[in-house]
Every structure is written in structure tokens, then in C-alpha cells.
A and B are shown apart, each in its own frame.
Chain A
Amino acid sequence: QVQLQESGPGLVKPSQTLSLTCAVSGGSIGSGSYYWSWIRQPAGKGLEWIGRIYTSGTTSYNPSLKSRVTISVDTSKNQFSLKLSSVTAADTAVYYCARGSTAWYYFDYWGQGTLVTVSS
């Protein structure tokens, strides 16, 4: 059973860079036909897809966030990461990492989510 676990600072100051890591267990991040995504959800609001990466390093990002987002993968550590620069209060949200199926284009396994608050 694949499991994903987000980790990182729960509080980030405005204008700084938010950095999160997603550790994958129960399977190799480099095996199979999957991609690895970040999704966020502000309190009381809906889900927003942030971006995804293949283990080859190929990425795609939500156009509304593209200028501030970088997703990377470290296959040796079986994890992938999110960096979001120049954060504001609007970036306060629960951030989820998720595995995606390339066969059916959906997110089949999710982490539990981690709350990141942007505040001085």
C-alpha cells in the first residue's frame, strides 16, 4: 500500500518561499507509470491543482501559479518537493501531495495534508 506524507514548516512569512516535501513509502517513486502532484485547499474552499512531476523530471504547473512554483523529485530519497515563492496570505492552505495514474489521469493516493499558514 502506497503512503504519502507531507512535511515542512507550518508557518511562512510573507514574501518568503514555502517549501514542502512528500515522502513516499510502500513503493518506489521511480517505478510504474505514475506522476507526482501537489494540490492545495484554503480553509473552507475548494481544491486547487498546483502541478505535477514525472520521475524523468518533466513538470507541468497550474498557469495561475507557474511563475512561482517549482516541483522537483529525488528518487534516491523516494520523495518529491514543492517550492512556492513570494507567498502571501492567499497561499495559506492545506497542501496535499498525491500520486497520479497516467492510465486514467486521476490522483489515486493522497497524503493526509499539511497546513501552511503565511503570516508575519
Chain B
Amino acid sequence: QTVVTQEPSFSVSPGGTVTLTCGLSSGSVSTSHYPTWYQQTPGQAPRTLIYSTNTRSSGVPDRFSGSILGNKAALSITGAQADDESDYYCVLYMGSGFWVFGGGTKLTVL
């Protein structure tokens, strides 16, 4: 069974930079997985931040960026702000019409 791994929690100082990662229990993440990153605040539907590894969704500030770092997908936030405190989920396309979400990372800004 495919498992997508994310850090359960992370903290960053206001104005700081943080990189969240998204890996596979077996194998490497590549652009062929079309990594997508979502931001979710309590009670709200997920909001798309990054799709297809590094394409920012409409209206997303350029301090959010996506990449492949080593064998994982990565979401970097530069100049973290208080309202970046959210849960962040990655999802990978596994081919043949199947997707797997990561367990999410709870980001604290303090």
C-alpha cells in the first residue's frame, strides 16, 4: 500500500522560511506524480496553493513555492506570516486514475 509521508508538525518564526516535504514510503517523488499542495484552515475546504510540482494557483502569493528536493516534493514558504498557520496537505497522482494524500503538516507560526 502506497503511503505519502509528511512531517506531522512544523513551526516557523514570523518572517522566517520553512520547507515542508512530501515523500513516498517506497520510491521517489517525481514530477510525474504531479505533486499538489493544499492549505486548509479549520472548518474550510482545502485551498490549492501549488499544482504540478511548482505552479502557483491563481491568487497565491509568490512567497509560496514548490519544487522537488532530492526524492521528495517540497513546499517552501518564505517570509512566513501569522495567517500561514494552517494545515498543509500534499497529494500525489499515482497513475491510472489514483491519488494518495499525505497525512498533512500542521504549521505553527510563532
Residue on A nearest B104 in the bound complex, by CB? A46
A36 to nearest B CB, angstroms?
12
| Contact between B96 and A60, CB atoms less than 8 A apart | yes
Q: Knowing A49-B100, A60-B98 touch, does A110 contact B93 (C-beta < 8 A)?
A: no
Main secondary structure of the interface of A (DSSP, over half): strand
Within 8 A of B (CB), among A87-114: 96, 101, 104-108, 110-113
| A110 adjacent to B45 (CB under 8 Å) | yes
The interface residues of chain B lying within 8 Å CB-to-CB of A46 are 89, 101-104
Q: Which of B36, B45, B96 contacts A112 (CB 8 A)?
A: B45
Residue of A37, A52, A105 most packed against chain B (CB within 10 A):
A105
Count of B residues near A, CB < 8 Å?
Answer: 23
Docked CA distance A101–B93 (Å): 12
CB proximity of A1 to chain B, nearest CB, Å: 11
* Inter-subunit contact B45/A47 (CB<8 Å): no
Judged by a CB distance under 8 angstroms, whether B48 is at the interface is yes
Instruction: Give chain A residues whose Cβ lies under 8 Å from the Cβ of B97.
Output: 35, 52, 58, 60
Instruction: Provide the bound-state CA to CA distance between A64 and B100, in Å.
Output: 11
Number of interface residues of A (CB under 8 A): 24
Q: Which of B34, B38, B98, B101 contacts A104 (CB 8 A)?
A: B34
Residues of B within 8 A of A111 (CB): 45
A107 contact set on B, CB distance < 8 A? 36, 46, 48, 91
Residues of B within 8 A of A (CB): 1, 34, 36, 38, 45-46, 48, 51-52, 55, 57, 89, 91, 93, 96-104
A-B contacts besides A60-B96, A63-B1, 19 pairs, CB < 8 Å: A46-B89, A46-B103, A46-B104, A47-B46, A47-B91, A49-B98, A49-B99, A49-B100, A49-B101, A60-B97, A60-B98, A96-B46, A101-B51, A104-B34, A104-B51, A105-B34, A106-B48, A106-B91, A113-B45
